């Protein structure tokens, strides 16, 4: 017989059937709950409908009717409730978890900027957004401001965002794998003209160096000056660590895994470069940490040095372009052979036969060249 409100009120411990799978379960403690038993995809399942203290008999019957309709329509109420209870993390939380899970497998130190690139370019836009709501349109919004300005960084970020979304899918935070193939269709083509790295005329570089030296010392200014003194790539400066330097011998040994050509590069340091390093050594936070960092652990952003140029009104030149400034100066103002300047830039010889026989690295000549370059920058010619 169907239940009545009075029967529900006086129900003893046990199962009390109302009909069509709806029943009242009463425990020995007196706690009573409504349960709907149904077949779903060949399996018998029980669906809880709430406490009898909160849900009346009439309400339980209405809830049971609605639930039967949902199941007939193909819904899975248990899975829906489980999903509702699951906490979906923000994109920033997912990205940091992804980084922690993967970083131990990375041998190349340049991947230390993995999180910093997100902090600078991604988290401000979608960091607080639930990771399951990040789609291609969100990624286009993130990359649009930097797609042509710093194309290499933008391309790396596209790959890294994809890795975070794949990680989120594996963790159960996203129902499906993410496909970011359509992102590039929403961004302008990165043509050769767009990614061209413009250089400051070498005659103007000493004035910039004087301006940087006259301003209050900051990690960014030191990094930019050091990069120009040595005509190195910005990442080679950003990820430099103290064990790479021998200040007594004025030598900087950059390991191959940090070089574009994957070959160890030994840089002869000019006196101004050594003086800059000695000052930073006195201010260091550790003996083996990053040289150009506030805490020795987190590298400066890849945009820090560029921002210094922009703040000084230099809108066209790039940090990488100072390598071209050095090359032009060496060609026009010195008698050093081109191969010495090329070796100073860690360029590989395009002629493989010549490269096989030329084993010298012109170290002594490069030291003379870099001292001459520093003198030019310091206006001591």
Give 270-328 pLDDT, tens digit per residue.
Answer: 999 999 999 999 989 889 999 999 888 889 887 889 889 888 888 778 888 899 999 99
Pairing type for strands 245-246 and 43-51 reads: unpaired
Over the stretch 286-298, which tens digit does the pLDDT of each residue have?
Answer: 899 999 998 888 8
Task: Give CA–CA dist 108/254, Å, rounded.
Answer: 12
pLDDT band at 78 (very low <50, low <70, confident <90, very high): low
The DSSP call for residue 194 is H
CA atoms within 13 A on the CB side of 379: 10
| Alpha-carbon distance values, 169 to 98, 140, 172, 225, 304 (Å) | 11, 20, 5, 44, 33
- CA dihedral (166, 172, 174, 176) positive or negative: positive
- Which segments of the chain are extended strands (E)? 14-19, 22-26, 32-40, 43-51, 245-246, 251-254, 265-268
Task: Give CA–CA dist 237/342, Å, rounded.
Answer: 18
Does position 35 have pLDDT exceeding 70, yes or no? yes
Backbone angles phi, psi at 41, to 5 degrees: 55, 45
Q: Return the structure tokens found at 98.
A: 């992804």
pLDDT band at 355 (very low <50, low <70, confident <90, very high): very low
pLDDT band at 194 (very low <50, low <70, confident <90, very high): very low
Task: Give CA–CA dist 33/15, Å, rounded.
Answer: 10
């Amino acid at each position: 017989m169907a239940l009545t409100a009075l029967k529900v009120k006086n129900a003893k411990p046990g199962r009390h059937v109302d009909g069509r799978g709806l029943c009242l379960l009463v425990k020995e403690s007196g706690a009573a709950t409504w349960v709907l038993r149904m077949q779903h995809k060949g399996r018998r399942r029980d669906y809880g409908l709430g406490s009898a203290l909160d849900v009346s008999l009439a309400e339980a019957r209405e809830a049971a009717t609605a639930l039967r309709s949902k199941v007939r329509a193909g819904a899975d109420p248990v899975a829906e409730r489980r999903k509702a209870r699951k906490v979906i993390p923000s994109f920033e939380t997912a990205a940091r978890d992804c980084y922690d899970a993967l970083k131990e497998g990375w041998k190349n130190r340049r991947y230390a900027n993995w999180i910093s690139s997100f902090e600078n370019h991604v988290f401000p836009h979608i960091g607080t957004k639930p990771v399951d709501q990040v789609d291609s349109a969100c990624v286009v919004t993130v990359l649009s401001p930097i797609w042509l300005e710093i194309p290499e960084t933008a391309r790396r970020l596209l790959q890294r965002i994809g890795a975070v979304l794949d990680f989120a899918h594996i963790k159960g935070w996203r129902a499906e794998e993410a496909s970011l193939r359509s992102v590039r269709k929403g961004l302008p083509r990165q043509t050769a003209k767009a990614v061209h790295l413009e250089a400051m005329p070498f005659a103007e570089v000493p004035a910039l160096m004087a301006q940087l030296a006259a301003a209050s010392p900051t990690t960014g200014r030191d990094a930019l000056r050091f990069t120009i003194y040595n005509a190195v790539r910005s990442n080679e400066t950003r990820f430099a660590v103290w064990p790479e330097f021998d200040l007594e011998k004025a030598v900087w040994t950059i390991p191959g895994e940090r070089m574009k050509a994957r070959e160890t590069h030994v840089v002869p340091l000019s006196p101004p470069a050594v003086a800059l390093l000695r000052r930073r050594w006195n201010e260091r936070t550790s003996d083996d940490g990053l040289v150009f960092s506030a805490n020795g652990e987190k590298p400066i952003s890849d945009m820090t040095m560029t921002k210094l140029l922009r703040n000084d009104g230099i809108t066209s030149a790039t940090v990488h372009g100072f390598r071209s400034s050095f090359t032009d100066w060496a060609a026009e103002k010195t008698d050093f052979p081109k191969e010495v300047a090329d070796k100073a830039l860690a360029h590989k010889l395009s002629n493989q036969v010549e490269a096989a026989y030329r084993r010298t690295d012109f170290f002594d000549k490069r030291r003379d060249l870099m001292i001459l370059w520093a003198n030019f920058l310091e206006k001591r010619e």
